[in-house]
Amino acid sequence: MEDKELKKLVIFYSLEGNTKFIAEGIKDMTGAESLELKVEKDISPKGFMRYVWGGSQVIMGKKPELVSIDKNPEDYDVLFIGTPIWAGGYVPAINTFLHRVQIKGKKIGLFCCHAGGGSGKAFSMFKEKLKENTIIGEIEFKDPLKNDKTVAEKQLKEWIDSIMKV
């Protein structure tokens, strides 16, 4: 894949900043544009109840209202889609986005951040929802802001280098 000629977009949601940190790294390393998904009435990033509210929204398949989306994925060749992991899946903001926007015929890199439970079923959920696309890679990070950022940046660079050669 000729990296320089492809138009790239990073689509992500971040509650605590971990996914945003990785998304900004992808943007910097690839020259991509970015689309941060924001929920009109988001949960608090602090306190134990965020796990209860966030997890229950994932389990119930909630689709919260998003603040306006100002970029059309159809205008891009490569999409990077990122999410925190809640209750083993991708977050409700991503659920809303994937139900609202039809994505077909794209090359897609998937990334997620979690606190230690792994990617769970999130990548499988993505692959099912995005089956009319080519998944070029997937990567997960454990709390990159709490752990060594340079290690996460190195892993990210290696991943980007490997999938952009596909």
Helix (H) or strand (E) holding 16: none
What is the domain extent for residue 8?
3-163
pLDDT of residue 51: 59
Residue with tokens 């950022």: 149
Task: Give the CATH number, domain containing residue 112.
Answer: 3.40.50.360
pLDDT of residue 159: 97
Q: Distance between CA atoms of 83 and 93, rounded to whole angstroms?
A: 9
Residue spans of beta strands (DSSP E) within the chain: 8-12, 33-36, 78-86, 89-90, 107-114, 134-142
pLDDT of residue 69: 87
The most distant pair of C-alpha atoms in the chain lies apart, rounded to whole Å, by 45
List per-residue pLDDT tens for the chain, 166 residues long. Answer: 455 589 999 999 998 899 999 999 999 999 999 999 998 776 656 665 555 555 556 666 677 778 888 999 999 999 999 999 988 889 899 999 999 999 999 999 999 999 888 887 899 999 999 999 999 999 999 999 999 899 999 999 999 999 997 5
Q: Give the count of domains, the chain.
A: 1
pLDDT of residue 166: 55
pLDDT of residue 87: 83
Q: Distance between CA atoms of 22 and 113, rounded to whole angstroms?
A: 8
CB 1 within 8 A of CB 107: yes
pLDDT of residue 133: 97
pLDDT of residue 20: 97
- Contacts of residue 1, defined as CB under 8 A and 6 or more positions apart, other chains included, come to 78, 107, 136, 164, 165, 166
